[in-house]
Amino acid sequence: MTTAASSSSNGPPLGKYLASTEKKVRDKAIKNLAAFLSDTENELPEAEINKLWKGIFYCFWMSDKPLVQQALAQELAELVLTIPDDEKSLQFLRGFWITLVREWNGIDRLRMDKYYLLIRRFVNVSFRLLIRADFEPMTCEELNDIISGPGGPLSSSDLKVPAGLGYHLSDLYLEELDKALASTPSSSKTPSALSAAAFQNILQPFVQLAASTSNTTLFKRVQDSVLEPVFTSVLPPSASTQASDSDSDEEEDGRAKKRARQDRYPHLSDRIEESERTRSALAKHIFETASQEDTLDSNRRKLYKIWRSLGEDSEA
C-alpha cells in the first residue's frame, strides 16, 4: 500500500499495484495515476503507456460487482480528460485500444458485458475530448487513426482485430456522440456545434470500414447502425416532416415513424450546423468513397445503393 502510494511521486503506479487482488490497493493506484496524468510536467513514453495499460486492463478485470464495475469504468475513462494536453490524451487513448484489441479474445463470456461497458465509456470520453478540442481537424484525424489504423478496433486490414469490436462500436457510436454533446451545453465556453466537415470526420472510420471490410455482416451492421440512421434520424430530408392534405393514412404513419427516429439523437441533430448542407456533403462523400479504386467491388455496389436511396438532394 505504501509503495503504491509513493510510486506516484516519481512515475505512474506500477502495473502490479493496478492489478492487485486487493481492491484498496487498486483504488489507491488509480488515484495516484490520475494525479500523475494531470501533471503537465509528467511524460509517458509509448512503451510505458502500453505497460501501464496492461495493468489497467487487469485492474478492471478484477472488479467483480456491477456497481463497482460501472464506477471504475467511468473513473478509468475520465483519466483521458484528466490529461490537460490533447495530444497526450490521444496517446493514452491509443494505449487503451491497443491493449483491448490484444486482450479481447482472452476475455471470457462472464466478463464480456463489463468490457462492453468500458468500451462505451471510452467512446463517450473520446467524443468529449473532441469537444474539448473544438473538433480541431488534426485531433479528429488522430482519433480516426487510432480507431481505424493498424491494430485499431475498426481496422479492416488487420485480421487480428476481432469483428465483435466493430459490431459493438457500430451499435453505440451515434448514441454516445449524442450523449457527449448533451453533457456539454452549447452555452459553455467550449463550442460544440458540429460543422459538416467535423461531422464527416467523426463518421469517417465507418465510411472507410464500409468501403474496405470483406465481412458482410459487419458491413450490414455499419449500414443499419451508423450510415442509415445518420440520414433518417440525424439528417432527415426536410420534406420528411411536411404533410399535404392529400396524404394517405399510410403516408402519415410513415412520417410519424420517421419523426420517432429523428428523436433518437436529439442533441446531435440540434448541434449540427446547416443540416441540409451537411446531409448533401455526407451523401457526396459516400458517393466519392464508393467511386474510389480501392473500395471493394461488392461494397461499392452497396454504397452506391445507399447513395441512390437518399434522393435527389444527394446528387453528386
Q: Tens digit of pLDDT for each residue in 145-179?
A: 999 999 999 999 898 999 999 999 999 999 999 99
More confident residue, 94 or 159: 94
Confidence class of residue 3 from pLDDT cuts 50, 70 and 90?
very low
Residues 41 and 77 in one domain: no
CA gap 300, 186 in Å, rounded: 38
CA gap 282, 108 in Å, rounded: 39
Note whether residue 97 is domain-resident: no
Residues 159 and 307 in one domain: yes
pLDDT digits (tens, 9 = 90+) for 28-77: 999 999 999 999 888 888 889 999 999 999 999 999 899 999 999 999 99
pLDDT at 96 over 50: yes
What is the pLDDT, as a whole number, of residue 74? 97
Residues 181 and 58 in one domain: no
pLDDT at 254 over 60: no
Across the chain, what does the average pLDDT equal? 87
Residues 80 and 200 in one domain: yes
Global confidence as pTM = 0.88
What is the pLDDT, as a whole number, of residue 263? 75
What is the pLDDT, as a whole number, of residue 31? 94
pLDDT at 137 over 80: yes
Residues 285 and 212 in one domain: yes
More confident residue, 251 or 280: 280
What is the pLDDT, as a whole number, of residue 154? 97
Kind plus residue range of the DSSP H or E element containing 14:
none
What is the pLDDT, as a whole number, of residue 237? 86
Cα angle 151-202-124, degrees, rounded to a multiple of 5: 80
What is the pLDDT, as a whole number, of residue 225? 97
User: Is residue 137 packed enough to be buried (19+ CB in 10 Å), middle (13-18) or exposed (0-12)?
Assistant: exposed
Contacts of 22 (CB under 8 A, 6+ apart): none
CA gap 174, 145 in Å, rounded: 19
Domain count, the chain: 2
Longest Cα separation, the chain: 77
Report the percent of the chain where pLDDT is more than 70.
Answer: 84
What is the pLDDT, as a whole number, of residue 314? 45
Note whether residue 96 is domain-resident: no
Residues 143 and 15 in one domain: no
Per the document, the length of the chain is 316
What is the pLDDT, as a whole number, of residue 5? 41
DSSP label of 13: P
Residue range of the domain that includes 108:
65-91+102-242+250-314
